[in-house]
Structure 1
Amino acid sequence: MKTLIRSTLISCFALSASVAMSQEADKALLKKAKKIHEKAFTVDTHADTPMLLSRGGFDITKDNDARTTNSKVDYPRMKRGGLDAIFFAVYLGQGPRTTEAHEAAKKRALDIFEAVNTTLKNTSSEAELATTPEEAYRIGKTGKRVIFIGVENGYAMGHDLKMLQKFYDLGARYMTLCHSSNNDICDSSTDPKGAEYQGLSPLGEQVVKEMNRLGMIIDVSHVSDSTFYDAIRLSKVPIVATHSGARAICNHPRNLTDDMLKALAKNGGVIQLNLLSDYIKTIPPSPEREAAMKGLYEKYNIKDRRGMATLSEEQQKQARAEFMELNKKYPVQLATVKDAIDHIDHIVKLIGIDHVGMGADFDGGGALADCFDVSQYENMTIELVRRGYSKKDIEKIWSGNFFRVMKAVEKGKTQEVSLK
């Protein structure tokens, strides 16, 4: 009996010692991750926050609750999550492809630019617009948040190539060629009608060349596989996917195949990881939620949640309230940070550490169970440290890789101009 008791006590002491060692290791890891996250210059390359700014009534200087306001980005939460810089997307859903509709789209895009610029003017003590990595570093040193601008969906330019210069002059440094449907520039990865051009249209080829000339980054998130390869073939500088994932990990047409990732690396480009759960992990279907969502969209005659931005102010208010109630009744199952880092692991093993970054698509659907908004971004760094990524690796993921592309695209513009 004494032997049994002694053996039990020894086992208990060993278990306690093991638990204590594990807790100390976790504390050391968290301390290391926190230090790395604080020192790294962190950039998220895609957020749809301008949809909130342009409709009015959203205070970006306030610490908003993500679950009651359905917003994922504001200055206080950026600071709390250690996020230095973010690209605000001037997003337009795909509308009719008529002359009148294209003119309306151009006006709508300029209105969104105005909403962003007005916000920055009114909050100049807290945030500032940047157009280069150098400007971002300068602004970051002042303690302000850094705001970059991108355009999501070439629909915003209609057929007018001069609009690209206009967007560039207003601060945009990338344009996503299309969105969830085909437009007059290219085929989308998710248009139910399928391909129209088998890649870029003749207009699309002109768009790629003009963006190269201007020094505007070509964003291939949302485009079809054939469009991706056309853009790679035509572009003289690296291209990016500002908010995508690895199709080998989650089989969604919005994500990039291994062959596409290899082509992107050869091009010198970078894929920025989207945190929309459906692109991170195959989520089990919820027939009840899907039916409710379909009913909501049909009621307001829109294709998806982003379509709410096209409704009247009163309809938007009502539709958002119904959407919030739907979320409470049929909560969506979310992927986790670990699921997300699985994508980064795959990409790094396949094409190396120099071609991956972060572009969550917050305020456009991006959200993980344990990285629900920008205030929880440190959790991404913690998991990267847990998996053995070095300080240098993490700095590349958070901004180094994307800033390298920004500089290459700018340099390519200068070289082309000098040849004329």
Structure 2
Amino acid sequence: MADLQDELQGELRDERQDEPHDPSEVPEPPVPRTDPYAAPPDPLERAHALLARHPVADGCSGLAGALRELPWYDLELGESAVATDVPRLRRGRVGALFCALEPPEGHAPDRALGATLEQLDLARAAVAAHPQGLRLARTAGEVLDARNCGRVAVVLGPAGAAALDGSLAVLRVLRSLGLRVLTLAGTAWASEAGLTRFGEEAVREMNRLGVLADLSGASDATLGRVLTLSRTPVLAMRSASRALRPHPDNLPDGLLAELGAAGGVCMVPLTAEQTGPTLRDVADHLDHVRAVAGPGSVGLSGAYDTGAAPPQGLTDPSGYPHLVAELLQRGWPETDVALLTWGNVQRVLRSADFAARAAQKRDRPSA
């Protein structure tokens, strides 16, 4: 009898296993227990972990001009004569570096093109001499490839628009040499009155070539017209909040809002003159730009080796994790920090690349 009861119970168990289960009866997985007395994660550790996935795209470096004065240098081992070298870039989790090609102060105005080409040659030579740490990148895809290979992507630009000397053929030649960003301030065709007819044609040709417009230092009229005319997002590569610090290159809230609505990026410079003398001052500007323009329109420009005094705690690129840790402590979501450091710049580069491919199939070079 006991054997018969065991056999019947076994059959009943098999039948119940074959029947469909009510999802409400499925037991929930156990919730992992957390130690209520454990210390919260260190903000600096969180910053390093986040930057390992979303490194910094530094919007402006004066490295090429600084190397001009050195008879010999080694950026891969470390170079104390400049603020930027490969070890410090890696400690700061920098994945991309925009290399400024603007001529040094005091150059003759009629030598703007020659001085720009000299800067470009210095930047390309520095990258070629340090292949284990640096890699030249012309497109958003090449920037990503360089990061995945453990190299810092070097993007050429911004360069001053005075180098064009009124010729769009010069713009095309500079683009063929790798130029990605052109600063429109300081030219007769992008003045306080706005863009001239040549200036408008220059913006269209920049769109066709994939050259991004940098509007730092440009007049309000020029900025507004470029935002209307450009088919791709624009950059303000060295601009912070004028509401917090009344520097002429900083942007008022109205223009910050317009820049954000157009998908552009305001890249806050780490300089004591424009943002303040401390790391917290820089974070205040980032908070303000994020609030006014939106999290998709804020970025970073180290401005190292440009001659500008850096804030305390951010004396070279290795300080970026400390700035990110400060933002995390202020309650920035990690998604917004990822946009700040990497995502926004990559989006703008990809947009310019896509628009340029489409325009080159559709439009002829401008004369």
- The two structures have a TM-score, normalised by structure 2, of 0.83
- SS of structure 1 residue aligned to 2:157: strand
In the aligned structure 1, how far is the partner of 2:37 from the partner of 2:97? 36
Q: Give the distance between the partners of 2:177 and 2:297, measured in 1 at CA.
A: 28
Q: Does 1:341 align with 2:283?
A: yes
Cross-structure match for 1:351: 293
Cα deviation, residue 366, structure 1 = 5.2
- Aligned runs of 1:106-185 on 2, under 5 Å? 106-178=113-185, 182-185=186-189
Please name the residue that 2:49 is paired with: 35
Identity of aligned residues (%): 26
Q: Residue in 2 aligned with 1:401?
A: 344
**CA–CA separation in structure 2 for the residues paired with 1:153 and 1:129:** 20
Q: Deviations over 1:227-285 (max 9, x none)?
A: 2112112212211111210111111121011110111112111111111111113xxxx
AA of the residue aligned to 1:367: P
Q: Is the 8 A contact 2:60 2:158 kept in 1?
A: no
Distance in 1 separating the partners of 2:165 and 2:90: 37
> Which residue, 238, 242, 247 being the options, matches 1:252?
247
Determine the C-alpha separation between the residues in 2 that align with 1:30 and 1:144: 23
1:29-82 deviations in Å (ceiling 9; x for gaps): 2322221122223210111111022333252234234xxx3x221111101211
Distance 2:320 2:196 in 1: 38
Residue 342 (structure 1) shift: 0.8
RMSD, aligned CA: 2.2
The 2-side partners of 1:233 and 1:93 are apart by: 32
Structure-2 separation of matches of 1:271 and 1:23: 39
Deviation at 1:22, TM superposition (A): 12
CA spacing shift, 1:276–1:28, aligned 2, 3 Å = closer
Which structure 2 residues correspond to residues 236-251 of structure 1 after superposition, within 5 A? 236-251=231-246
- Does the aligned pair in 2 maintain the 1:92–1:109 contact within 8 Å? yes
2:249 equivalent to 1:234: no
Paired residues in the alignment total 326
CA distance in 2, matches of 1:220, 1:417: 24
> 1:173 offset after TM fit, Å?
0.9
**2:367 is the alignment partner of 1:372:** no
Is the contact made by 1:212 and 1:236 (CA closer than 8 Å) also made in structure 2? yes
CA 357–96 in structure 1, closer or farther in 2 if over 3 Å, else same: closer
Q: Distance in 2 between matches of 1:34 and 1:183?
A: 41
The one-letter amino acid of 1:185's match is: W
Structure-to-structure mapping, 1:273-284, within 5 angstroms: 273-281=268-276
Q: Is 1:263 matched up with 2:205?
A: no
Summarize deviations over 1:269-311 as a string: whole Å, max 9, x none: 1111111111113xxxxxxxxxxxxxxxxxxxxxxxxxxxxxx
Counterpart code for 1:336: T
Q: Secondary structure of 1:222's partner?
A: coil
Q: Could you say which residue in structure 2 is the equivalent of 1:81?
A: 92
More helix by share: 1
Tell me which of 340, 352, 357 is aligned to 1:414. 357
Partner of 2:209: 214
Q: CA deviation at 1:200?
A: 2.2
Residue ranges of structure 2 left out of the alignment (5+ in a row): 1-35
Question: Cα distance, 1:96 vs. partner?
Answer: 8.4
Following the alignment from structure 2 to structure 1, what is the Cα–Cα distance between the partners of residues 120 and 316?
A: 23
Q: Radius of gyration: which is bigger?
A: 2
Equivalent of 1:50 in 57, 60, 64: 64
Contact 1:93–1:153 under 8 Å retained in 2: no
Residue 363 of structure 1: aligned partner: 305
Question: What SS is found at the alignment partner of 1:43?
Answer: strand
Inter-partner Cα distance in structure 2 for 1:52 and 1:186: 28
Gaps of 5+ in 1: 1-20, 188-194, 282-334
1-side partners of 2:301 and 2:353: how far apart? 21
